[in-house]
Amino acid sequence: EWAWKDNADNHLIRLNGEVVFDDVSFGYRENKTVLHNISIHAKPGQKIALVGSTGSGKTTVINLLSRFYDVPAENGRILYDGVPLNEIKKDDLRRSLGMVLQDTHLFTGTIFDNIKYGNLEASRAQVLEAAKLANADGFIRHLENGYDTVISGDGANLSQGQRQLLAIARAAVANPPVLVLDEATSSIDTRTEALIQTGMDRLMKGRTVFVIAHRLSTVRNADEILVLEKGSIIERGTHESLINQKGRYYHLYTGNSISIE
Ligand SMILES: Nc1ncnc2c1ncn2[C@@H]1O[C@H](COP(=O)(O)OP(=O)(O)OP(=O)(O)O)[C@@H](O)[C@H]1O
Ligand SMILES: [Mg+2]
């Protein structure tokens, strides 16, 4: 169970995972707007998929949600359960926001510690449970020392697919209400790909998810797909509705110029 603490009187407010972008514009530098009037309403548990060509602003949306950059007050608001994002302490925000990004940062240490990093208070049983949910348990058990196998900082002794499975396990042990995913594009063998897919699906269940989608199954399952172009949302809807619309999404999709495999 997650809760916000109200600084005024210390009472706890249940954290539901509702995220609102209210007419947000943003630029990394002055005089160069990268996002134009973005409005998004993710209800608790919904999956929002971001698609669009390179440079369209997908990562920027996620950067704002995780407060890697702040939106100036006059350029719109982002609300997390009705609380303006910039009023939430960065540490609190990061803990309540799980991230599975394309390059997972692993450190030199055991597999166990690398997963537990997602939640330093987790017990051994919770770490193992998270690894099972992520579908990482199988490969870990086949390593010479199982969960106590030491991996090097760059994860050089693991395959890319295995590193992704660890990233999913790490997010699972944190058990956050909101999840940010940047799906990997690199080709991974079909068997590992299937493991990752199932692990991701289990991880996403019951959480609000923002995902930069590259997999067809992800967009198909999204409650809303946002098609970005040059920093604006040009189309939005479900996979079916966007296909029927025969607009940009349809062309990206059928022309294979979208990075959906
Ligand atoms: N840190 C930064 N500083 C300045 N400009 C940036 C920065 N990050 C991104 N941009 C610019 O913002 C625009 C949107 O970039 P963004 O990374 O959000 O695109 P994207 O949709 O994630 O692209 P890709 O599919 O290639 O990952 C681009 O014009 C990019 O050059
Ligand atoms: Mg990006």
CA of 148 relative to ligand 2 center, distance in Å? 34
Confidence of residue 76 (pLDDT cuts 50, 70, 90): very high
Which residue spans within the chain are E strands per DSSP? 3-5, 12-14, 19-26, 35-42, 47-51, 77-80, 83-84, 97-100, 109-110, 150-151, 178-182, 208-212, 224-229, 232-237
**Predicted local distance difference test score (pLDDT) of residue 4:** 66
Nearest-ligand number for the alpha carbon of 58: 1
The pLDDT of residue 233 is above 50: yes
Query: Taking a C-beta distance cutoff of 8 angstroms, is the pair 135, 188 a contact?
Result: no
**Predicted local distance difference test score (pLDDT) of residue 1:** 63
> DSSP per residue over 46-97, as a string?
-EEEEE-STTSSHHHHHHHHTTSS---GGG-EEEETTEEGGGS-HHHHHHHE
Edge to edge, the sheet with strand 232-237 lists: 97-100, 178-182, 208-212, 47-51, 224-229, 232-237
CA of 126 relative to ligand 2 center, distance in Å? 32
Instruction: State the fold for domain 46-67+90-254.
Output: Rossmann fold (3.40.50)
Which is more confident, 251 or 125? Answer: 125
Closest Cα to atom 4 of ligand 1: 28
Query: Taking a C-beta distance cutoff of 8 angstroms, is the pair 236, 227 a contact?
Result: yes
**How do beta strands 83-84 and 19-26 pair?**
unpaired
**Predicted local distance difference test score (pLDDT) of residue 255:** 72
CA dihedral 150, 154, 160, 163 (to 10 degrees): 50
State the closest ligand 1 atom to the C-alpha of 259, by its place in the atom list counted from 1.
Answer: 25
Which SS3 state, helix, strand or coil, does residue 137 take? helix
Query: Which of 223, 229, 222, 233 is CA-nearest to residue 257?
Result: 229
State the closest ligand 1 atom to the C-alpha of 212, by its place in the atom list counted from 1.
Answer: 22
CA of 235 relative to ligand 2 center, distance in Å? 18
Q: Give pLDDT tens digits for 85-108.
A: 999 888 888 888 998 887 778 999
Which SS3 state, helix, strand or coil, does residue 193 take? helix
Lowest mean pLDDT among 9-18, 39-48, 101-110, 234-243: 9-18
Q: Give pLDDT tens digits for 109-128.
A: 999 999 999 999 999 999 99
Ligand 1 pocket mutation pick from 29, 51, 58 by most atoms within 8 angstroms of CB: 58
Confidence of residue 260 (pLDDT cuts 50, 70, 90): very low
**Predicted local distance difference test score (pLDDT) of residue 256:** 56
CA of 55 relative to ligand 1 center, distance in Å? 5
Closest Cα to atom 9 of ligand 1: 60
Could you give the CA distance from residue 166 to residue 116 in angstroms, rounded to a whole number? 10
CA of 62 relative to ligand 2 center, distance in Å? 9
Closest Cα to atom 13 of ligand 1: 55
Confidence of residue 133 (pLDDT cuts 50, 70, 90): very high
Distance spanning both ends of the chain, measured CA to CA: 36
